[in-house]
Amino acid sequence: MTTPQTWPHLFEAGTAGSPVLLLLHGTGGDEHDLLPLADRLAPGAGYLAPRGPVQEHGMNRWFRRFGEGVFDVDDVVRRAAELAGFVERARSHYGFGDRQLVAVGFSNGANIALAMALLHPQAAPRTIAFSGMYPLEGRTIDADLSGTAVALFNGTSDAMAPIDSAIRVGSILESRGAEVDRNVREGGHGIHPTEVAGAAAWITSHTKKVRDD
């Protein structure tokens, strides 16, 4: 069982009533990598930043792969379930109750965030994926994703997260009832400043909806 006591991570409560950002780093990163994004995305928000549990040549990752862009889908499924379980236990452990949780992932972190959105939408009903792609090749997605929302940010010439795969994951999310906001820019792998601004506006609009309901 993965718990806040056993999974390396960082937590900051933030201001009362603010969302909590689940920060998911890319390959080779760690729990510190996306902290500079937190205040730019949602000033005053809390954050939960775990470390990817898989090692690949000394680099932290969220799941195994057989090669560039070729994922061990069985491991993706397993790790998405582990992450969802960790999130739910952290929610109880840190007492952030019914505050809105927004998953924010980059690259490999975006892929595990998307896997969790597809398989365990209750863990993080709001997801932002920077340079992500479809992580569940060959699997049938049958979850009801109505009430969830996902923002995709991708580059048209991203060799690591091909735009066709990003388009596909958006279509699959929509087919299961999710609200999908697609954002495509020129360029390759990474997080562009305009995407940070767009993601910040998206968080504001989508967490406000929750507070107003």
Active-site option among 18, 25, 33, 107: 107
Q: What's the one-letter identity of residue 92? A: S
| 158 in catalytic set | yes
Rounded distance, CA 116 to CA 124, Å? 8
Rounded distance, CA 101 to CA 13, Å? 12
Active-site option among 18, 158, 165, 206: 158
Active-site option among 39, 75, 120, 189: 189
Is residue 82 within 8 Å of 32, Cβ to Cβ?
no
Token digits for 17? 């009533």
Rounded distance, CA 71 to CA 61, Å? 12
Token digits for 130? 């920077």
Please list the active-site residues.
Answer: 107, 158, 189
